[in-house]
Each structure stands twice: as structure tokens, then as C-alpha cells.
Structure 1
Amino acid sequence: MNIKSKDLGELEELCTQIRERIIDVVSRNGGHFSSTLGAVELTVAMHKVFDVQSDPFIFDVSHQCYPHKLLTGRWEEFETIRQFGGLSGFTKPKESSADYFVAGHSSTSISLAVGAAKSIKLNGENRVPVVMIGDGSMTAGMVYEALNELGDIKLPVVIVLNDNEMSIAKPIGSISKYLSKILAGKFYQKLRDRIDKSIVQKLPEGANYIAKKIEESIKLITPGVIFEEMGIDYIGPIDGHNLEEIIETLDIAKGLNKPVIVHAKTIKGKGYEIAEGQNEKWHGVGPFNVETGEFKKKAAAKAATAVYADALSALAKKYDNVVGVTAAMPSGTGIDRLMAEFPNRFWDVAIAEQHAVTSMAAMAKEGFKPYITIYSTFLQRAFDQVIHDVCIMGLPVVFAIDRAGIVGNDGETHQGAFDISYLRFLPNMILFAPRDNQSLHQAIDFSYKLDKPCAIRYPRGAFKELKYESNEFELGKAQLLKEGTSNKLFIGYGAGVSKACDTEALHEEDIAILDLRFVKPLDEEILNELASKYNKWYVFSDSQKQGGVASAILEYINKAKLCVSVDSFEFEDHFIVHGETLKVEESLELTAKQLVEKI
């Protein structure tokens, strides 16, 4: 959509149309909602001032990228957002050349912009990277690593800070906005350069010092002093819903030919009154009724996340040394409940996974029992801290890994496929997984007794109810759920146990089922015993095949020289696409019916 020729009135009408389209489609499909509604004017202004086919448009996390998709030839296709085979809910270059980079994890945008700016300079091109980043993403350390270099090399980058949470008092806000615009305006910039070159540099040392201090004093009353100190110009705060003001400011920022942060105040959920403001439940939503705001949620079994929260709450009441942390996902991980019950023992450290792990390592050294509750996909961000700060010293930190396996509509950046593969090779680490609600409670109780690092994984949504009673956990001990009369053995790990049970129920043969429970250490005794009865083994686990559960079993088979064959029904060597979980499983040929045919 070419908006360069549109006047202000036409652009404002376009903003209304974009909001209506987003509300209509997301109310039916679900998706990221309040953050994307709040960024409509900012996005339209970016497209007005910059050239999306030339200037890199970089959206941090890209929760707020729906208006961008609608402006770049995907208006009709937007109907398929987050659906299997449809548009991704995040930016995706394979989907459109207007999407500069894949984004799903936060705080990568400014680093990308720095790399793009360096490349543009080396190629001698006239292009400017433009970033949209939210105030939440500014809590991650990677942002400041990038700003630190950007302030040093001073290449042209415009950073739009979409601030929908910070509170700035009106008097200070209006004064600082006025002064910031003056400081960034073309007249002031030319005047400052002229004064600096023709007057200040020729003044005696004392006068020069005074002149510099006057300028610094003016900057100190703006809220952007931290950025100015890092060598990056700051403009704002401006009204992130005043289209004329945003366009004017972005024009100024683009013309400065150096790094600039434009601080824009926005309202989450803008344009849909029910969702406006600081209401976390409207960040990512399922289908809802537009008129009432009521979610069309089907009655469902209790999610594993809620069961985990119950188990951890019971443990925290029993033991005073139980502490915990989450990284900006309190409600998503169930830790919000623990933070309310035990405000001095459970913390949200914002988008700072590395800090979360290392700070809990210190608490473990001090005699506490830390539970780091985190999505599988976000634990990847703290891999070095898991090794360096937890495993080397063998500290008894518990990693409660939520959203393990297929997570559905969020797609490649959020699937919980790799945690087994990258944790299994770490010395001192113990890996185990429950198969249902009962065994999840038992797993949490067992984890408290361990004096080594351990990781427990559980899926998004609810476990399936199984007919088998769960034994108490013992270190490195599996549980044989049923014997079989054929030569086949189904080995399940975690949620893979229910898939093994479903597949066995559809199979015409009577097949033995083993709940492996521990992938590290393996129950070598039971594997030896079962090898003498069953020589065709099939592994069920919602994880990556390379370095995964079957890989661990095959390593032991080779070591013990067992005469069995092993087939794995784990994920193959590719990233998993977005869509409804069942459709994703069908595409991977991993439904119970498909597995029966394979076997």
C-alpha cells in the first residue's frame, strides 16, 4: 500500500480502517492484540517517512507488527493470521520482503539495526534502519550492549521507543518534549554546530567549559538523559497517537543522520475501549466477542501450568527456603500466584533470562532452593548461565520448563523443541519429565530433594488423563506401565507417554509401554531387562530428534551392545511452523493414527 501521497486526513482514516481490520480478524483467530492496536499511528508514520522497500524496518519481538503487515500487501491474507499455512503472527522475511528479519524473542532489534547500519555504510548506500521497540524490551541487557556501540560509532539509526507503561508527569513531560524538539530541531542543530566551530572552540578553556555545561544542564531536565549520556540523541516524549506530531518528529530524526531515539507514549489496546490500558489479559488473546469483550474459551482440563503452580505453592508453604523467579512471564508461567502469596520469595525480573539464572545460582549457594520457571524457548537465551553459573558448581537449581513441545500458533520462534538436546550434554544436570497431573506434583516434590541442577519439562495446555497410577519418583528410575505380547516396546517421555498410549490403543497388537521418566540418568537396569523381551523399540517425545531422547537411548544401546532396533517419533531437523497444534502434528506425520501406519 503506497501511503506517501496520502494527506493527514487520509492517513488518520487509514489508521481507523487498520484498527477495525485487526479487531475483526483477531476476535475470530486470536493473536497479539493490545500491543499491536497501540502501535497503529507509529507504524503508519514510519511508512510515511521511511521507505519500507529500502530502509530496514525492524520490529522488536514483532508483537506489534500487524499494522505493518496490513500496509505491505497482506490486507486480504491477514484473514489467515497465525493459522496453519497462513500468515505468521511475527515478522517473517520468507512471507514478505518488507519484513526485514525474523523476530519472536525480544530485545534483538537494536543489535540488528547496528549491523544493518554498518553494512549500509560499507556499501555506500543512502538507507536508514528504523526500529520499533517497546518499553518492556528495554529491560533486557542486550539492548544496552547495542546502544553502547551505537553511541560510539554514531551511524544513522532511528529508534522508535513505543512506551505504553512508563509514567511521566504532565508538567515534566510537556517541558521536556518542548526542549527535546528544540534540541533536535534543524535550527538548533545548525546553530549548535556553528557556535561550536566558530565560537566555543576559540574561547578560553574556562569559557568553553561553561558553554558545554549550559548545554548539558538543558539536557538533564529531559527524561532521555541516559540515552544522551550513551551518545544517542533523544526526542520526546511525544504523543504516539498524534499522527501529525509523529510524522514531524520522524522527519526531524531521519534528517539528523545519526542515532536518535524517538520516545512515543502510547495506550495499549487503543481503539478498542475494553482492552485499553494496563490489562495483561489483552496482550495475547484467543477468539472473543467484539461487542462484550468476552472470550470464546471452550471448557478445558486444568493446564499443566496451573498444576505446576499448585504444586510449587504447596512446596513453598512447606519449606521456607523455596524461592523462585520468572522473566517477564508471571501469568504465563503461573508464578503470579506465587508472587502474590510469597512476595518476598518470588520475583519477576523482567526480560532478563540470563540475570534470572545467575541470581538464582547465588541463592542456591546461600542455601535456598530456587525454581526458575520459564518457557522452553526462552531458556535458550540463558544457555551460558546454565552452564557457567549453575552446572559447573553443581548448584541445586530447578528449571521448570513450561511450553515444552509444540506450542501452536506462535510458530518457529516459540516452539519448545530443543531443551532436551542442549541440556542433556551438561555435566551435573538431571533431566526428568512427568506424564500427567499426578506425576507433575510428584516431580516437584522430588525436585526439592535433589542436590544437583535439574530440569522438569511439561507441555502447553493440559496433560491427557491416563489410566495408569503414578509411582513416586526415584532418581534414574523409569516406570513400566504395561507388558505386551508382541516384540514391540513403546517408550514415552513426558507428554510423549500419552502419545504412546494413544498409538498403542489404535494398534492391533498388544504392545508394552514404558514411561522413561528420566532421560538423564537413564534407567539402564530396566532397559537391559526389556531388551531381552522386546527387540523393536519406538520412542515418543515432543522434542528434537538430534540429541534427544532416542539419541540418549541409542548411546546406551551401543555401550551395552543390546540387540534392539530403535525408531524415533521426535521432531526432524527443521523448524516447526505455526498453526493449530493438531494440524501441525498432522503436517509432521505425528498423530496417533499416522504413527500406527508407520509402525
Structure 2
Amino acid sequence: MIDLKNMSIDELCAQAESIRNRIIEVVSKNGGHLSSNLGSVELIIAMHYVFDCKEYPFIFDVSHQAYAHKLITDRWDSFDTLRQTNGISGFTKPSESSSDYFIAGHSSTSLSLGVGAARAIRLNNEHRIPIVLIGDGAMSAGLTYEALDEIGDIKYPMIIILNDNEMSISKPIGAISKYLSTTTATKFYQEVRGGIKKILQNLPDSATYMAKRFEESFKLITPGILFEELGLNYIGPIDGHNISELINIFQKAKNFNSPVLIHTQTTKGYGYKIAEGKYEKWHSVPPFCIDTGIPLNPTKSINPTKIFANKLLELAKKDEKIVGVTAAMPSGTGLDLLIDSFPNRFFDVAIAEAHATTSMAAMAKEGYKPFVVIYSTFLQRAFDSIIHDVSIMNLPVKFAIDRAGIVGEDGETHQGAFDISYLNLIPNMVIYAPRDDESLELALEFATNYNDSPLAFRYPRGGFLLPNKTYQNNNFELGKAEILNKGSDIAFLGFGNGVGRAHLVNEALQNKATLVDLRFAKPLDIGLIKEIAKTHKKLYIFSDGVKLGGIAQNISYILLEDSIFTKIKSFEFQDIFIPHGKTQEVEKILNLDTQSILNAIQGDLKNL
């Protein structure tokens, strides 16, 4: 643990510079979240100077901005392993360090966690308080306001540090974020607020009452009125890069016996000129050259996200009924291309996956063809809306699920492992997947033309395992699979990127196995599956989803119903949260790389 408490302000500023350089050094080699971490260094130093994180719960919203916290708390040397296989996580993780209070990879959970911690502290009659660091982008999610409602009502002692950098991952959306930025950024506001402070300091006691009334009236044009009306004490805005001022405010807030929100203003990328400011591309970066900011290994091939965006744009130009929504991830999902081209038909609703889904349900009811474009990990947050608002009404909402399967260095909180299983539970839902670039375009055409029920199609991060046009692509037909290669004795049944994994294994076996692209996980091609089960000794199932509730389990159930007892082996994800690391290395850990699968199959072949 770096001992900050005995440092002078000058020494703390020097430490901030050292921490910032360390972050840049490691992220330039490993990739990771950069600009958000550079912007929060002074905030985190001041937190550690005033509070002991072993006593006071330090709760980071999302926690991708907690690198400085990791460096201060005994991970300076191990920081080289950031986001690497068996290395330290890019997010806070209690199993990694007792200094980390909670794991967090999704936005807007911090205030609810703070409420829970404050309740427990009160029940224990303790005199510590939760310290919450939340970005203003997280203020766009409903969960934040559910927590604020209780905080303001019950008055739990808590310090909420609002890191206002006028950014989420991309440009922030919503009235709250605009309110925070526009009311505090004007020259008029800053000059008048400064003038009021000076007047109050110099007025005699007899005039203080009227001056205070004037200051209260002035709050009507400041963010303070919002939070104070919610029942919180409000301090700010203050310079989030001024360590001395931060320490002074934090020490005063420590003595409040009620919730206080400290509004700090920071700059994303602070201290690294190339990344400073409102640059979305510096939020999460691949390895790069520190001097130029240029990626070290730029990807030349077009990825599934770009293919999706380009094809959807092509279809939207032809069909005015096509609309779409994303939740604070316009560039990550490729929907920024559509928003720029058709701003009245494609929307970013900020960090509000449930709202995005329910709003599109109503658009489907009105006769539109809505696409909900969200990462697999974040779509989990809309589960109730998918059931209650889309599927019960059997509305033709189209869910385009990006980042399906293993996503690599972001780890447990971001792996796209569960969508097949949880969507498979829902009546009326159609689930399918492309196997390569070309079939992704065909998947979009099918989605556009299919209006009988809700549907979901999934595609991976980075690229498909199956090289494009390895097999001839045909149009999707509801519930129909395709035989790609005919073999004997054993059959490989693949779904989505699982087709590519099965193909690579089959190549190593000199194409001895029958290879099937299931295409649909729901409805399955039951007729073809039964036929193959009767003519082969063993079936191997490949998909980038969990085993429980997965494709192999559903196929087993179907075959058992007809008393077909063909042996089945699943190469799906085990019942674990998948760790972080480079995708190929994670596959080896899961025994899903080609050689591990070959070893398992060759052992089976000897016994057939």
C-alpha cells in the first residue's frame, strides 16, 4: 500500500504524475481502459488520503476507472499483468485484493451497493460510511435513481463523488447529463458563483441572511437543486484535478451525518495530451505507441460489427420501417453509422437497456421493424422487458446480439455466455446465428423480412472462426439446419461461431465427421437432428454458450423423448464465470481450442 497520508500536496501531485505514467505505460502494452483512468487519478488519490479503504467501502461504478486504486493498493508491480491471462483484472475484484470492495463491470450499480453497505453499517452501529465514485454517464440509468430515492428518503450517511467529465463511453445522452454539463460550463455561471462566494465572505452578519437567500435562489440554475430536492447535501462543482481542494472537501464531507454528493469536474485522458477531451476512441484501447497514439497492431480486416452496420444501413435505405436503438454503445455496436444517416429512426437511449427494449416493443406494435442492438452481456439487464413487453405480446422486435461468446480481456462481467440459454426459456422467441461474414448479412435480411415473432441473432467479437465462403451460403429458412460435410460414425453440430470451431477440428480429422450448421437454436431442426442421430454413433455439439440450458441439453431432451439414445458430447462453456485473458488463451483454459477438442474426440473414437 502506498502511504499517501504522510505526503505533502506537492508529493501527492508527483505521485499522481507517477501513477498516470504507469497507467499509460502498461495500457500502451496490454490495451485497456485509458482515458477514464487518467481522468480519475487525483480523485482516487484524495479518496485514499482522507479515507482508509479497508475500513470505508470504496465502491467504483463500473470500476474500469479504478486503475489508480489498484496501483495504490499493492498492485504496482503486478500491474504489468493487467487484463492478461492469470493476471490482474481490469475491474475491481475482491478475490484479487481485500482493498477491492465489489466486482463491477456494468454501469450504475454503485449507489445501490452503497445503500446496502450503509444499511449494514447502521445495523452494526458502526461509524464508517460508504465512499462511492460514479461517473455522470451512469446517471442515465434507472437503477441510479431507484437508489437515490431511498438515499434521500432514509438519509443514509454516504459520500457520493460524481465524476463529471461530460462523457460516458461515447457522447452522453439524456437530460440529466446535459443538465450537469450545460449549467456548470457557462462563463456566466462560473463568474457569478465565484462572486457570490467572495460577497458572502466579506458581508457583515446582519446581511448574511439576504445573501444566503440569494445563493439559494441561484441554485435554481445549478445542478445542486436537483440533488438537494432528492434529499442529498450538494457540494460543487469543484476541480477534480486539484488534490488540495479535493482533500479539503472530502475531510469536511466525512463529518456529515447524512448523504452528500460532491460534484467534481474532470477531463478524460487528463495528462496525456493525445487522449485529453471528448475522444470516444480513447475510452478502451488496444496496445498503442505512446509517442503517437497509433495502435501497434491495427486490424485490417472488417469485423462482424462493421459488417452488421453496413448491411443494416443498406437495408434501412430501402425500407423506411426499419428503426433501431442501442444503449450507450453507438460505436461499439456500429449503430453510430445508422444514427448519423437516419437520426430520426435510430437512437442511443444511454445506459438503459430495459427502456431500449420496451420502447422498441411499442414501435413494433405501431408497425415498424425495430432492431435492439446490444452486447450479449448488457442484454442481460433487459431480461424482464424481453419477456414481459416483447414476447408475451409476440411482437417482432429483432435483437442483434454483439460480442456473443468469449470476449477476452474484459473477463467475467463481459463474456457473452448466457444469451442462448436465457432466451431459449422464452416462448415465441426465435434464436439463430450466422457462421461467417456472408451469412451475417443473410441473417440481417432474414430478420428484416421475418415479422411473426421476436427473434435474436448473435455474432462474435473480432471475427468468425470460419473463413468466409468456406461453404456455400443459402438464405435462412426458419428452423432449418444445413449439412456442410458428410462423414460417418460421428457428427459435429455447430451453432454460430461453433460451426467454425467444429470445422477446424474436422479439418484436423481429415473431414471424417458429418458437419452440420444448426443455424437455429430455437426452433431446432428436429427432423434433421433425429435423422443424423439414428445414422451416427456419437454427436458433438459446438456453440459459444453455456452448457446449462444450452443446445446440447435441448438436443438430448428431444432425442430422449423419442427414445433415441445416441451418445452426445458438448463442447460448450462449463458452469463457471469465464476468466479474462486473450481469447485464444481463454479457449485453452476451457479446453475448447482445437488440440484439446481433438484429444477428447480421439479418446472417444477408440471406444466407438
TM beyond 0.5: yes
Amino acid at match of 2:569: D
Corresponding residue SS for 2:309: helix
CA distance 1:406–1:144, shift in 2 (3 Å): same
2:292 and 2:312 map into 1 onto residues whose CA distance is 35
Equivalent residues of 2:91, 2:104 under 8 A apart = yes
Q: Counterpart of 2:274 in structure 1: which amino acid? A: I
When normalised by structure 1's length, the TM-score is 0.93
Query: What's the CA shift string for 1:172-208, capped at 9, x where partnerless?
Result: 135447869999x9xxxxx9xxx9xxxx9xxxxxxxx
2:559 aligned counterpart, secondary structure: helix
Partner of 2:472: 469
Matched, 1:482 2:485: yes
Code of the residue aligned with 2:582 in structure 1: it is: E
1:578 is matched with which residue? 580
| Aligned-partner Cα distance in 2 for 1:583–1:141 | 37
Task: Report the secondary structure of 2:281's partner residue.
Answer: helix
Instruction: Report the AA paired with residue 290 of structure 1.
Output: I
- 1:219 Cα deviation after fit: 3.6
After superposition, what is the alpha-carbon deviation per residue over 1:301-355, rounded to whole angstroms, capped at 9, x for unaligned? 3211111111111110111000000000001000010111111110111101111
Q: 1:182 to 1:455 in 2, by over 3 A?
A: farther
1:108 aligned residue: 109
Partner of 1:173: 190
Residue by residue over 1:506-531, the C-alpha shift from the partner in whole angstroms, topping out at 9 and shown as x without a partner, is 12561100000001001111112212
Whether 1:130 and 2:147 are equivalent positions in the alignment is: no
Range 464-473 or range 292-301, more displaced: 292-301
Indicate how the Cα distance of structure 1 residues 81 and 179 shifts in structure 2: closer, same or farther if over 3 A, else same. farther
Aligned counterparts of 1:180 and 1:151: Cα–Cα separation in 2: 27
Alignment of 1:444-455 (within 5 A): 444-451=444-451, 452-455=453-456
Q: Aligned ranges for residues 201-212 of structure 1 at < 5 Å?
A: none
- Cα deviations by residue, 1:403-430 (Å, 9 ceiling, x for unpaired): 0000000000000000001000101100
Q: Does 1:547 align with 2:549?
A: yes
Equivalent residue, structure 1, for 2:286: 286
Amino acid at match of 2:359: S
- For 1:272, the aligned partner's letter is Y
Structure 2 counterpart SS, 1:356: helix
The answer to which of 170-179 and 538-547 deviates more is: 170-179
Deviation string, structure 1 residues 118-163 (Cα, Å, up to 9, x no partner): 1111101111110111111111011011011000111110011001
Give 1:211 shift.
12
Distance 2:197 2:565 in 1: 75
* Contact 1:29–1:287, Cα closer than 8 Å, also in 2: yes
Relative distance call for 1:179 and 1:521 in structure 2 (3 A) is: farther
Match of 1:63 in 2: 64
Asked if 1:565 corresponds to 2:582, the answer is no
SS at match of 1:370: strand
Q: Which residue matches 2:605?
A: none
Is 1:246 paired with 2:246?
yes
> Match of 1:346?
346
Alpha-carbon distance in structure 1 between the residues aligned to 2:132 and 2:187: 26
The 1:182/1:470 distance shift into structure 2, 3 A limit, reads farther
- The AA in structure 1 aligned to 2:187 is K
Aligned to 1:217: 217
C-alpha distance in 2, partners of 1:393/1:433? Answer: 24
SS in 1 for 2:496: coil
Change over 3 Å in CA distance of 1:181–1:435 after alignment to 2: farther
Q: Is the 8 A contact 1:394 1:428 kept in 2?
A: yes
Give the equivalent residue in structure 2 for 1:205.
none
**Alignment size in residue pairs:** 577
Equivalent residue, structure 2, for 1:8: 9
Q: Which residue of 2 aligns with 1:515?
A: 517
SS at match of 1:480: strand
Q: Distance in 2 between matches of 1:242 and 1:567?
A: 59
Q: Report the alpha carbon displacement of residue 103 of structure 1 after superposing the two structures with TM.
A: 0.5
- Contact kept? 1:535, 1:563, Cα under 8 Å: no
- Distance in structure 2 (CA, Å) of the matches to 1:181 and 1:460: 55
Give the structure 2 partner of residue 203 of structure 1: none
Unaligned runs of 5+ in 2: 167-180, 602-608
When the two structures are superposed, what TM-score results if normalisation uses the length of structure 2? Answer: 0.92
Mapped partners of 1:469, 1:345: distance in 2:
34
Structure 2 residue 427 is matched with structure 1 residue 410: no
1:79 CA drift (Å): 0.6
**Alignment partner of 1:296: what SS?**
coil
- Contact 1:180 1:236 (8 Å CA) reproduced: no
**Matched residue SS, 1:575:** coil
CA shift, 1:562, in A, is 1.6
Aligned residue in 2 for 1:421 = 421
- Residues 171/251 of structure 1: CA separation in 2 closer, same or farther (3 Å cut): farther
Contact 2:485 / 2:511 at 8 angstroms: preserved in 1?
no
In structure 2, give the amino acid aligned to 1:426: I
Q: Residues 179 and 250 (structure 1 numbering): CA distance in 2 closer, same or farther, change over 3 Å?
A: farther
Identity rate, percent: 55
Give unpaired runs (5+ residues) of structure 1: 186-190, 201-209
Aligned residue in 1 for 2:381:
381
CA distance in 2, matches of 1:391, 1:221: 43
CA contact (8 A) 1:180 1:234 kept: no
Q: SS at the partner of 2:261? A: strand
- 2:508 is matched with 506
Check the 8 A contact 1:227/1:233 in 2, yes or no. yes
The answer as to whether partners of 1:69 and 1:75 remain within 8 angstroms in 2 is yes
CA shift in 2, pair 1:423/1:157, >3 Å: same
* Partner of residue 327, structure 1: 327
What is the Cα deviation at residue 253 of structure 1?
A: 1.4
Match of 1:156 in 2: 157
